């Protein structure tokens, strides 16, 4: 099945389309947002690193088969230049299968500007310990 590649004029537009596709459990739309290179990466909370379209697609398909998820991105922090953008996001997550428990995920999404528009090259998510932070991130050295 051929998926129409949509041109997104900013990383923010691609990110909005990413979360929209996730919330609709639309695997084809979700995968159309990824860069065409095979070295793209995805890390789900507590899971190993996935590399390439096939592995990433299979992981999202498995998540959607379990009922999907509702995600609301909050507290976005961005850094960008003409060719790349890095978005640090806190995701508020609720499972769709009647689980009203909300958890927070710390997420980094990396985008590159391609001839087809802004595309995802990395999605890295991990479970936030405790309650989600409520203000600007404190300055700290790693």
pLDDT tens-digit series, residues 105-123: 999 999 999 998 999 999 9
* Token pair of 42 as six digits: 């995805």
C-alpha closest to that of 128 among 94, 101, 103, 100? 103
Q: Give pLDDT tens digits for 70-83.
A: 888 888 888 989 89
- Residue 118: CB atoms within 10 Å: 24
- Residue 90: CB atoms within 10 Å: 19
**pLDDT of amino acid 5:** 53
- Do residues 18 and 120 make contact, with C-beta atoms less than 8 angstroms apart? yes
**pLDDT of amino acid 98:** 55
- Do residues 119 and 14 make contact, with C-beta atoms less than 8 angstroms apart? yes
**pLDDT of amino acid 3:** 42
* Token pair of 85 as six digits: 């953008």
Q: Which residue has the tokens 């507290």?
A: 75
**pLDDT of amino acid 60:** 96
Ranges of the chain whose pLDDT falls below 70: 1-7, 95-101, 130-142
| CA neighbours closer than 13 Å in the CB half-sphere of residue 92 | 12
Question: What is the pTM assigned to this prediction?
Answer: 0.82
**pLDDT of amino acid 138:** 43
Q: Which helix (H) or strand (E) holds 89?
A: strand 84-95
Domains and CATH numbers, the chain: 11-127 (3.10.450.50)
C-alpha closest to that of 23 among 58, 69, 73, 76? 69
């Amino acid at each position: 099945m051929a998926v129409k590649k949509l041109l997104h004029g900013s990383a923010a537009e691609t990110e909005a389309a990413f979360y929209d596709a996730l919330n609709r459990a639309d695997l084809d739309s979700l995968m159309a947002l990824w860069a065409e290179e095979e070295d793209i990466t995805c890390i789900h909370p507590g899971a190993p690193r996935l590399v390439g379209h096939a592995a990433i697609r299979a992981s999202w398909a498995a998540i959607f088969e379990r009922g999907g998820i509702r995600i609301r991105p909050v507290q976005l922090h961005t850094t960008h230049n003409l060719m790349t953008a890095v978005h640090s996001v806190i995701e508020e997550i609720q499972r769709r299968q009647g689980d009203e428990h909300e958890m927070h995920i710390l997420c980094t999404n990396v985008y590159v500007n391609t001839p087809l528009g802004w595309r995802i090259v990395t999605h890295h998510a991990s479970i936030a310990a405790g309650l989600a932070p409520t203000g600007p991130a404190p300055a700290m050295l790693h």
